[in-house]
């Protein structure tokens, strides 16, 4: 008799715990931010684009963690990668993957999350390029890819929209030279050309790899004075969601 009562209570307890879990799940699904990743070649203006949207208090803007790449416990991994790519590409890309993942899963109370780059462009453009140039050995590239596959399957990396800032390699090469980031001084024009091609095949022609969300392409060749108007084309995509009306 007592045993049956205990079993009953246990069963009900399980039922309540299940209900609670389902509710928590539904709630977290509901409150997941609409996530936008901003992609495009080195120097195409991703940071400028993100800065433009910092004025909206309801958007969580996550710039690329380049400061971490330049200072991982005192080591400049970005600098190491450019000065001795064969030795350091694996270390650098592993860290890029980790720091990108961190941004993907970072919780935010904002309804919109805007990220500079993603785990996808790191894998589909940069790792791809390093693999083709044999700067990453086949075994090293395989390990990065195994991590990538596992992470994209088992962690909540949700992307709802990709903004592709489409530029020509000539324009971004000039910008990169002008901004004069010390690590990038010796990056040749051909490197940007190949990266451009990889972005194009992934996001424009959609012939390479998997596209994790729909793509909005903006002209990123424009100069600073006219680019804001182009950036503004992205704004309705946020307003359409009806979630920033309180702004
Ligand atoms: P980008 O990620 O292209 O960022 P950016 O700040 O140069 O671009 P924008 O001007 O549009 O804001 O590149 C940052 C540096 O990191 C650049 O030297 C390329 C390098 N990088 C890699 O080598 N591997 C990677 O996986 C990523 C994401 C960047
Ligand atoms: Mg940037």
| Atom number in ligand 1 closest to CA 41 | 3
- pLDDT tens-place values along the chain, 247 residues long: 455 654 554 555 554 444 444 433 344 445 789 999 999 999 999 999 999 999 888 999 999 999 999 999 999 999 999 999 999 999 999 999 999 999 999 999 999 999 999 999 999 999 999 999 999 999 999 999 999 999 999 999 999 999 999 999 999 999 999 999 999 999 999 999 999 999 999 999 999 999 999 999 999 999 877 888 888 877 777 666 645 544 4
Helix locations, 106-223, DSSP H: 119-121, 128-132, 138-154, 169-179, 189-199
Q: What is the DSSP letter of 13?
A: H
Q: How far apart are CA 234 and CA 232, in angstroms?
A: 5
Q: Is the dihedral of CA 84, 90, 93, 95 positive or negative?
A: negative
Q: How far apart are CA 161 and CA 173, in angstroms?
A: 27
Ligand 2 center from residue 170 Cα (angstroms): 18
CB atoms within 10 A of CB 44: 27
| Residues 215, 145 contacting (CB under 8 angstroms) | no
pLDDT at 8: 58
pLDDT at 20: 40
Task: Specify the pTM.
Answer: 0.86
Ligand 1 atom 14, closest CA: 42
pLDDT at 30: 55
pLDDT at 125: 98
| Atom number in ligand 1 closest to CA 172 | 10
| Atom number in ligand 1 closest to CA 45 | 11
Q: How far apart are CA 146 and CA 168, in angstroms?
A: 32
Q: How far apart are CA 160 and CA 212, in angstroms?
A: 8
Ligand 2 center from residue 103 Cα (angstroms): 15
Q: Is the dihedral of CA 133, 176, 178, 82 positive or negative?
A: negative
Q: Which residues are catalytic?
A: 116
pLDDT at 235: 79
Residue in the block written with tokens 């309180």: 246
pLDDT at 127: 98
* C-alpha 21 chain-centroid distance: 29
Continuous segment of H or E residues that includes residue 217:
strand 214-219
Ligand 1 atom 4, closest CA: 42
Q: How buried is 43 (Cβ within 10 angstroms: 0-12 exposed, 13-18 middle, 19+ buried)?
A: buried
Ligand 1 center from residue 66 Cα (angstroms): 8
pLDDT at 17: 42
Of the candidates 51, 45, 39, 41, the residue with the CA atom closest to the CA atom of residue 179: 45
């Amino acid at each position: 008799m007592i045993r049956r009562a205990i079993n009953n209570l246990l069963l009900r307890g399980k039922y309540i715990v299940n209900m609670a879990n389902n509710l928590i799940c539904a709630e977290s699904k509901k409150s997941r931010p609409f996530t936008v990743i901003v992609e495009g070649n080195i120097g195409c203006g991703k940071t400028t684009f993100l800065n433009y949207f910092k004025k909206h208090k309801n958007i969580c803007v996550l710039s690329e963690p380049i400061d971490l790449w330049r200072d991982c416990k005192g080591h400049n991994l970005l600098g190491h990668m450019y000065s001795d790519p064969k030795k350091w590409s694996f270390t650098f890309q592993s860290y890029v993957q980790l720091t990108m993942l961190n941004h993907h899963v970072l919780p935010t109370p904002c309804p919109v999350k805007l990220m500079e780059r993603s785990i996808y462009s790191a894998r589909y453009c940069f790792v791809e390029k390093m693999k083709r140039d044999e700067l990453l050995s086949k075994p090293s590239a395989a390990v990065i890819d195994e991590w990538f596959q596992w992470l994209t399957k088992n962690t909540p990396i949700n992307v709802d929209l990709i903004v592709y800032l489409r530029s020509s390699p000539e324009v971004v090469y000039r910008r990169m030279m002008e901004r004069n980031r010390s690590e990038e001084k010796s990056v040749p024009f051909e490197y940007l050309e190949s990266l451009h091609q990889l972005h194009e095949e992934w996001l424009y022609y959609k012939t390479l790899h998997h596209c994790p969300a729909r793509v909005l392409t903006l002209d990123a060749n424009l100069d600073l004075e006219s680019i804001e108007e182009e950036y503004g084309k992205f704004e309705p995509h946020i307003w359409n969601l009806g979630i920033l009306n309180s702004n």
